[in-house]
Amino acid sequence: MKQNIKLFAVALLGGFVSLTLYHQFITPEVNSQAINTTEKVAHFPVYTSNTKLVAAENLTDFTTAAEATVNSVVHVKNTSVGIQQDPFAELFFGQGHGGRKYERVGTGSGVIISPDGYIITNNHVIENASDIEIVLNNKKKYTAKLIGTDKSTDIALVKIEATDLPFVTFGDSDISKIGEWVLAVGNPYNLTSTVTAGIISAKGRDLEGNNNIESFIQTDAAVNPGNSGGALVNTRGELIGINTAISSQTGSFVGYSFAVPSNIAKRVVEDLMESGSVKRAVLGVTTQPKSDVDGVYISDVSKGTGADKGGIESGDVIKKINAVKIHKFSDLVGQLVAKRPGDEVLVTIDRDGVEKVLKVKLSEISELVTEAFGIQFHELKENERKDLGTSKGVRVAKINNKDLQKLGIRPGYVIVSINNYGLNSLDDVEKVKGMVKNAEDINKLVIINLKGERETFSRGW
């Protein structure tokens, strides 16, 4: 009996010692492995013992950006005068008595970009306005003066007489990335500024049906019509875009919105501040789509242009402008619109599988006779537009296109539109070249002949 008690005591002591050794030497090693495993999976949120989120919470904190922006975004109210036609009054009292004037009011948003009152908005927000009123986030009202507009980029610049205003600083839209968090800030209904959040869904977007090809930033932040002209900012509160358009069949936000990149907007407003107009920079090349090419394929180089002098040749593929990769035509347009004539850029091209970096001095589009579709175009002067009774059109200087020659088109004719894309300037010709790739793709042409008569030609001519 005593022997059994001794054996039981020894067994109990041995179990106790084994359990102690297990906790001291084995369990910590297992726990250490578990901790290391958790640390390796860095993309999972890590919680502390009091359940507070330690990782990732700062990445979605927009309060700093919102606070830095909301007071810099304003409500824009434009008033224009329309005429309601009255055919009976015109019949009895003659031409000029056939209507009555009435006021039309439109609204949008704008962004203060300097403490002394310069405000950037969309051209379509203030277009044809006779009066422009700015309402700050604190409800103070000002009458604004129009400094200048640029229809091509849908950017306008106005100014109010005020000082020490809160303003937004420009960021670099070129370094913004797909997937990056952004805030859309607008003042759509004069309710004070509103903020929505989203991510950058795509860059270098050109909108289908948009006559002015631009390299838009696409985001899924909710933007409704009254937000046009408002700010798209990054999480640091830097302006990286001007909200301009939405993709919608209803007129309200359904998932995607588009902003003019800040690098383009900044260059445009600087020109408007300096001279009231915007100068266009071009390489001097004609492009052609190639489905198997990552970049922009050059089909022709205009003589005497920066591209010609810089060594670019037909058959080259543009891969980069400076350090920015070029995947498609809208990427190229976005970079050129953000530059000025006379600027030098480094163009990386692929020539027969070998990459070369060429220095090119950009030309001013008004200095060139733009070539496209076998036609050389000249800019129409303002007095020529008035004489022809047209707000659109570019003049044919020379034509080598046999199909169009068969239609009777010859030097002196004015081409108003190609495939419903209106031509206001030589810059528009450059843009249409990117949408209508070859002369064979021209399906509709509106022209003004030498008699001043407007004619329309459709495919089948």
Would you list the DSSP string of 126-177?
Answer: HTT-SEEEEE-TT--EEEPEEEEEETTTTEEEEE-S-SS---PPB--GGG--
The Cα 422–Cα 283 span in angstroms is 22
- Please pick, among 114, 124, 247, 300, the residue that the annotation labels catalytic: 124
- Please pick, among 154, 206, 271, 428, the residue that the annotation labels catalytic: 154
Local structure of 389: helix, strand or coil? coil
Residue 154 known to be catalytic: yes
In this structure, is the dihedral angle defined by the CA atoms of residues 53, 58, 61 and 63, taken in order, positive or negative? positive
Q: Are 257 and 218 within 8 A, CB to CB?
A: yes
Burial 177-186 (b: 16+ CB within 10 A, else e): eeeebbbbbb
> What's the residue count for the chain?
461
Residue 228 known to be catalytic: yes
- Please pick, among 72, 176, 228, 417, the residue that the annotation labels catalytic: 228
Region of 204 (left: φ > 0; alpha: ψ -120 to 50; beta: rest) is: left
The Cα 74–Cα 132 span in angstroms is 12
Burial 337-354 (b: 16+ CB within 10 A, else e): bbbebeeebebbbbeeee
Residue 124 known to be catalytic: yes
The Cα 113–Cα 250 span in angstroms is 32
Region of 150 (left: φ > 0; alpha: ψ -120 to 50; beta: rest) is: beta
**Catalytic positions:** 124, 154, 228
